[in-house]
Copies of this chain bind each other. A is one copy, B any other.
Amino acid sequence: MSNIDMIEAAADRLKGHVRETPLLSSPFLDEIAGRRVLVKPECLQHTGSFKFRGAWSAISALDDAARNRGVIAYSSGNHAQGVAYAAAQHGISSVIVMPSDAPKLKIENTRALGGEVILYDRATESREDIGEALATERGLTLIRPYDEPQVIAGQGTTGLELARQALELDVTEGDVLVCCGGGGLTSGIALALEHHAPGLRARPCEPEGFDDVKRSLQVGAIQSNNASSGNICDAILTPQPGLITFPILQRLCGPGLAVSEQEALHAVALAFLRLKIVLEPGGAVSLASALFRKDQIEGDTVIVVASGGNVDPQIFEQALEFLT
């Protein structure tokens, strides 16, 4: 089970390898939100998302023998790039199992970052079968994207930084909005805040129609989404909260927030205009919640974790239309 000691140990292992992201702000965003907005841009993290933190944490926590045999992950997105790059930086091999219809750029990026990409046909093959055969054959360790204590610990280092940075600005109370898929980042941050900034409360943010975490928190039991795709926030479309993450979310988080695709895109545009950062829609649902769900938020200051920036130029251009 993940706990604060694991997060602090992960922070020690990440030191000098992870990028400490700043807290950004803009008076223009404050005005829209009706309160001060502080944005932690994890899009500026290595590989363009917070996922590098969890990948580094998990790989660096392995014993030498296991680490030297290499790691494996199933992902076509940010987790793939985080694992591939963290493995390469450790000097070990990584296998990333991706669907053959994944965007070409993501496949190329994952390869260029040092990952061995194995493609499978979604229609006729099972990625788990392929992955298990490879893992057994080569002794690879599977790095799960969120339901894995050392991954949660790594994501939680975001919360350690954030708690310290907020305190430096005398912010000790308020909501911390976090983009939420399976809950690895949100649960890690919630654990860090519990110990280092107990007046700050993590709140998961999701796309409408894929708000499994919000509904699970309301009901008090794990709920699933009806669909698994078909939303522009592809980075955070997960079927349901994790078995490890959900109890943490339930114990520590405030109510979830959900925004529309258009609101997520609008937030991408405002982050471009006012913060000069590049967000993907799934990495902007937290900012969208701060800007467009202000009646559901408490306090004079809201903190926003903007989780990733791996967005296709075409989608970005769609967002920029909000500015013309």
- Residues in chain A within 8 A of chain B (CB atoms): 19-22, 24, 27-28, 41, 43-44, 48, 85, 112-113, 269, 272-273, 275-279, 309, 313-314, 316-317, 320, 323-324
A278-B278, A317-B317 given. 16 additional CB < 8 A pairs? Answer: A19-B22, A21-B22, A22-B22, A22-B44, A27-B85, A27-B112, A41-B276, A44-B275, A48-B276, A269-B313, A273-B313, A276-B278, A276-B279, A276-B309, A313-B323, A317-B320
Tell me the complex Cα distance, A314–B48, Å: 24
Q: In the complex, are the beta carbons of B320 and A316 less than 8 A apart?
A: yes
| Contacting residues, chain B, for A323 (C-beta < 8 A) | 313
Q: In the complex, are the beta carbons of A43 and B276 less than 8 A apart?
A: yes
| Contacting residues, chain B, for A28 (C-beta < 8 A) | 112
Cross-chain contact of A313 among B48, B112, B309, B324 (Cβ < 8 A): B324
Q: How many copies does the complex hold?
A: 2
Q: Closest CB of chain B to A265's CB: distance in Å?
A: 13
Closest 9 CB pairs of A and B: A276-B309, A276-B278, A43-B276, A313-B320, A313-B323, A48-B276, A272-B278, A317-B317, A44-B276
Q: Closest CB of chain B to A294's CB: distance in Å?
A: 19
Q: Closest CB of chain B to A273's CB: distance in Å?
A: 8
Tell me the complex Cα distance, A295–B278, Å: 30
Nearest B residue (CB) for A317: B317
Tell me the complex Cα distance, A41–B44, Å: 10
Q: Closest CB of chain B to A166's CB: distance in Å?
A: 15
Q: Closest CB of chain B to A248's CB: distance in Å?
A: 28
Cross-chain contact of A278 among B19, B21, B277, B314 (Cβ < 8 A): B277
| Contacting residues, chain B, for A113 (C-beta < 8 A) | 27
Nearest B residue (CB) for A113: B27
Tell me the complex Cα distance, A314–B324, Å: 9
Query: Can you show 29 pairs from A to B with CB atoms below 8 A apart?
Result: A19-B22, A20-B22, A21-B22, A22-B22, A22-B44, A24-B44, A27-B85, A27-B112, A27-B113, A28-B112, A43-B276, A44-B276, A44-B277, A48-B276, A269-B313, A272-B278, A272-B316, A273-B313, A276-B277, A276-B278, A276-B279, A276-B309, A278-B278, A313-B320, A313-B323, A313-B324, A314-B324, A316-B320, A317-B317
Q: Closest CB of chain B to A35's CB: distance in Å?
A: 17
| Contacting residues, chain B, for A41 (C-beta < 8 A) | 276
Tell me the complex Cα distance, A193–B110, Å: 37
| Contacting residues, chain B, for A317 (C-beta < 8 A) | 317, 320
Tell me the complex Cα distance, A24–B85, Å: 15
Q: Closest CB of chain B to A108's CB: distance in Å?
A: 10
| Contacting residues, chain B, for A44 (C-beta < 8 A) | 22, 24, 275-277
Cross-chain contact of A24 among B19, B27, B112, B316 (Cβ < 8 A): B19
| Contacting residues, chain B, for A273 (C-beta < 8 A) | 313
Tell me the complex Cα distance, A324–B312, Å: 10
Tell me the complex Cα distance, A272–B316, Å: 10
